[in-house]
Structure 1
């Protein structure tokens, strides 16, 4: 684990070229075009790329989703929440403006949410609408996360438990 950092933190220039878009990554069966590969893994020792799925989405998914939906601070920048050097995931602290109309969004049907909050409604994963609803509910319950989620202005840290593989909170 030591010595690995995200590409955007390296001082060396990395030229990463990957063509997994448009017709090169599109299946036309089933009525709607759909991506052939939606996740990618890298074997850093061999340098091989392979299709991958990630069933474990990590801790505090509604909080992390709220940052994305609300366009939180630095939303255009790469968000690197995992530090490989220490093996910990770091969330926040951050804030966002209260989302106007969150109650109206939560009153909509699943199909309405799918059609209006997805860029690819015909091929979304089955959990998409549920994830959006949970995130919107979180935003509704925490309109000011600096007060209710990060009252001490400290990040939330997590580490994988070696025995169970589950994310566990870490306090400093």
Structure 2
């Protein structure tokens, strides 16, 4: 019970290059997937967007949602798991090698379908298909560190069986951006930033999304990995969390793109075009909502969103509880505060 490719046990991992050289079938599948067309996911597809440090679980029988996926992965990895017992799909957007984020999805998928009548032994034998997308041969080697954490977890996990079916990551997911004026400035970049799965058809495809709603600016502020959607509930949930309001938030809103990219990104040369605006919106939320328990999580309650079957928008449940927040921020900000915060980040 660990990691297998073509039913062959994988006992160690060095790199995707070595792995795919040893398993040409997996290499062919991954290269073919890399060369497939990127599809845009629209509202009529009835989708859930999973952001960084978020997880989702989609059943094939879900009546509200057909598609679940994520994008904006540069050094991050997006992993899709298929539970071969329940046929459900799980997805997670992994952004760090310092914690075992994939294990959180595995545990959530097992727990989500556990009943009182099931024994612990039933759950020890869970089998998953694994699809990895994202990460590239970046200049800081950040992607490779995340890859090792993901792969080593599956190899060492003794209670679950993983079948690796797709590895569009690392060197396979890397292209070179050429600068015709100065060859020295050529640099690597990802080919694919996103992936989605259609729960009805089982199709896993390169994806970009028409929207990252709801409330992306709020969701970006959390620090823990959280489950934001599962088909049992049928609603998007942003669990209660807290954050320390950044003393330099107002200044971050005003600085130019280069400062944001060079201080807040692991891959400043290859971030999607909306990255800087997303970061500014996050800092704006800090300014307008310095105390999230007062304005964002009333009565210490999670935020729930339901899909409007007419507009196909995810709408906040009980919006009347929140009202309009016109918080007046009385803090004073200095350039010293800004530089100190930038160094911490």
Report how far residue 41 of structure 1 moved. Answer: 1.8
Post-superposition CA distance 1:109-150 (Å, at most 9, x none)? 121102211111111111110010010110122122012211
Name the SS for the 1:164 alignment partner: coil
How far apart, CA to CA, are the structure 2 residues paired with 1:45 and 1:59?
A: 23
* Counterpart pick for 2:109 among 10, 30, 38: 10
Provide the residue aligned with 1:60 in structure 2. Answer: 215
1:26-41 correspondence to structure 2 within 5 Å:
26-30=174-178, 31-41=186-196
* 1:133 matches 2:280: yes
How far apart, CA to CA, are the structure 2 residues paired with 1:83 and 1:44?
A: 12
TM-align CA RMSD: 2.3
How far apart, CA to CA, are the structure 1 residues paired with 2:200 and 2:218?
A: 33
Residues paired across the two proteins, number: 164
Provide the residue aligned with 1:156 in structure 2. Answer: 303
How far apart, CA to CA, are the structure 1 residues paired with 2:239 and 2:250?
A: 25
How far apart, CA to CA, are the structure 1 residues paired with 2:205 and 2:163?
A: 15
Post-superposition CA distance 1:11-70 (Å, at most 9, x none)? 324315342222110111344322111111224455443211122212111111122xxx
Provide the residue aligned with 1:19 in structure 2. Answer: 167
Asked whether the equivalents of residues 32 and 123 of structure 1 are also in contact (C-alpha less than 8 Å), the reply is no
User: Runs in 1 of length 4+ with deviation above 4 angstroms?
Assistant: 44-47
Cα distance change, pair 36–154 in 1 and its aligned pair in 2 (3 A): same
How far apart, CA to CA, are the structure 1 residues paired with 2:201 and 2:89?
A: 17
Provide the residue aligned with 2:79 in structure 1. Answer: none
Cα distance change, pair 66–10 in 1 and its aligned pair in 2 (3 A): closer
Asked whether the equivalents of residues 158 and 170 of structure 1 are also in contact (C-alpha less than 8 Å), the reply is yes
Question: Please, what TM-score do these two structures have when normalized by structure 2?
Answer: 0.43
Provide the residue aligned with 2:154 in structure 1. Answer: none
How far apart, CA to CA, are the structure 2 residues paired with 1:168 and 1:43?
A: 22
Provide the residue aligned with 1:94 in structure 2. Answer: 241
Cα distance change, pair 147–43 in 1 and its aligned pair in 2 (3 A): closer
Provide the residue aligned with 1:143 in structure 2. Answer: 290
Task: Give the greater-gyration-radius structure (CA).
Answer: 2
Name the SS for the 1:38 alignment partner: coil
Asked whether the equivalents of residues 158 and 167 of structure 1 are also in contact (C-alpha less than 8 Å), the reply is yes
How far apart, CA to CA, are the structure 1 residues paired with 2:243 and 2:272?
A: 27
Deviates more, 1:135-144 or 1:6-15: 6-15
Which has more strand, going by share of residues?
2
How far apart, CA to CA, are the structure 2 residues paired with 1:151 and 1:87?
A: 21
Cα distance change, pair 46–166 in 1 and its aligned pair in 2 (3 A): closer
